[in-house]
Amino acid sequence: MLSQFFRLEGAYLVLAGIILLITLYVSTRPFMSKGAPKKALFWVGLVLILFIGGHYWVTSSRIAEVKAAFEQGKPILCESRAIRTAAQSIEIRKGIADWHLEGDNFVSPQYVRPFSAARCIVKKSLKAF
């Protein structure tokens, strides 16, 4: 679970570190009050923790939903960055094109690269109203 967190949120953790360094630099300037660095780092850090934690929770919930729907045979839409001129997504369904799950990745022998479940959603059917 910890490795999944670092894999999904690694870039955001690096950005958060940069933001904290900028906060430290700005809050230690001569025109800032004496307790500014401690207060600024606390509040900015708290906001970053909430945002990154919220993003991880939403992403991991979506991964679980996508994996469960795939096992039930429902269609899954995944982002495809390989083809920019045509469709931006690919539909994945269990039993078609030999798709299967390897960890959090959808893999098929007909495709060169796997598709991460973190970049997929369950395809919802459109109902007439």
Q: Which pTM was predicted?
A: 0.77
88 falls within a domain: yes
24 falls within a domain: yes
The CA distance from 6 to 12, in Å, is 9
Asked whether residue 60 falls in the same domain as residue 81, the answer is no
6 falls within a domain: yes
The CA distance from 121 to 58, in Å, is 12
pLDDT score, position 126: 65
In 10 A of CB 14, how many CB atoms?
10
106 falls within a domain: yes
51 falls within a domain: yes
Q: What total number of domains does the chain contain? A: 2
Q: DSSP string of 35-80?
A: THHHHHHHHHHHHHHHHHHHHHHHHHHHHHHHHHHHHTT--EEEE-
Domain span including residue 96? 75-122
Q: What is the pLDDT along the chain (129 residues), one digit of tens a residue?
A: 677 788 888 899 999 999 999 999 999 988 988 999 999 999 999 999 999 999 999 999 999 999 999 888 888 888 876 666 656 788 888 888 888 888 888 888 888 888 888 888 888 876 655
pLDDT score, position 5: 83
Asked whether residue 84 falls in the same domain as residue 28, the answer is no
47 falls within a domain: yes
129 falls within a domain: no
Where among 66, 84, 113 does a domain terminate?
Answer: 66
